[in-house]
Structures are given as C-alpha cells and as structure tokens.
Chains A and B, each alone.
Chain A
Amino acid sequence: EAGVAQSPRYKIIEKRQSVAFWCNPISGHATLYWYQQILGQGPKLLIQFQNNGVVDDSQLPKDRFSAERLKGVDSTLKIQPAKLEDSAVYLCASSSPDRNYGYTFGSGTRLTVV
C-alpha cells in the first residue's frame, strides 16, 4: 500500500510570511493527524480529523494556524504569519478508525523560519 505523502520536504521562509503544507493519507484511512515536532522533542498533536470533521484542535494556535481536510481525503496545514518558534518538522499521519490500529506517518516537512 502507498504510504502517507507530504509536500514540500523542506521550506525556508522569513518571519511574518505564510506557508502551507499538504498531506495525502493512506487510501481508506478516515483519521488524519498533523503533528509538530520541535528539535529534541517528541511530536505534539496539532489537529485531528475524522473524515472531514475536526475531532481535536485544542493545541492548534488558531490565531496563526489553520487546517482543512476537503472531501475527507487530502489535508492542508497553513501558518500565517509565521514566527521564529514555528521552526519545526510538521508530520502528517493517518489511521483506520479502529482504535486498535496503529499510525502511519509521512516523511514530514521541515520548516525553517528566519
């Protein structure tokens, strides 16, 4: 089966600019997650979708971050305006709705804000 696809792989932007990341989950996986991983830390959940509805966005900085999942498949995560502390790897993962199912992660997007 094809894995979780993410793009771009790397992005360098100046602070106050905007950026968008794209994710295509494994076919048939209804649940999609965006995680932020700061250097030296474990991944932290930003937002969780079930089909095209938001299940949990409690840790998403909503003043600057937004995410959508149109038609319950692909998803985009946007940051506007970016801050220096947003420099991190942004990971997308997908999972079956079965709670006993594991996660599959994409390769991530490394964002550097200068």
Chain B
Amino acid sequence: DQQVKQNSPSLSVQEGRISILNCDYTNSMFDYFLWYKKYPAEGPTFLISISSIKDKNEDGRFTVFLNKSAKHLSLHIVPSQPGDSAVYFCASTNTGNQFYFGTGTSLTVIP
C-alpha cells in the first residue's frame, strides 16, 4: 500500500532552469511533509519541510508547495545546479513515529 507516490522515476533539467519534482499522497490525515535528497552510497539528507497549515515554504533555491485538496506536493529548485543531481524523496507523516516515503525521483542537472 503505497501512500506516497512519486510517479516520475527520473528528470533531466538544464543548468539554470527550474526543476519541478512532484509527489502525491493518499492519506488525508498526513499533516507534515518533507523532502530528502540522497546521493549514492549515502543516507538521505533533509532538504525542506512543510506542515499542513501552510501551502508554501521557501528556503533559498528550494520551495515546497502543498495542495491539500489535490493531495499533491511539489518541490521547485531554481536555478538548478549540477550539484543538485541526486535522488529526491518526498515523505509524509501524521504521527511523527514513522514517515511514508515515495520511491524517489532521480534528478540530473545537465551543465
């Protein structure tokens, strides 16, 4: 039962352009959402989060948008840089005890 879905396994973007990564969830009880970035052979690194009382959170080049009615989450990276190339996971929770992760989107930023 995949409660968090990332339907795009991969995405390629030119350096300097915007990267948009999408995530859908099914559980309307989720109240906290996060994005993690993962390089090969490393653990996921926290990137940005948003609670369900907000619809947007911005941190530098990274912005997360939350559309609760559509149960949709997106991460915008602008401008994209080659160092952003990694696998991005979205995750959701309603208890804090466990997070439900998507299957990840592999982002490649082309110089």
Check if A and B associate.
no
A contact residues vs B (CB 8 Å cutoff):
none
Point out residues on B near A: beta carbons under 8 Å.
none
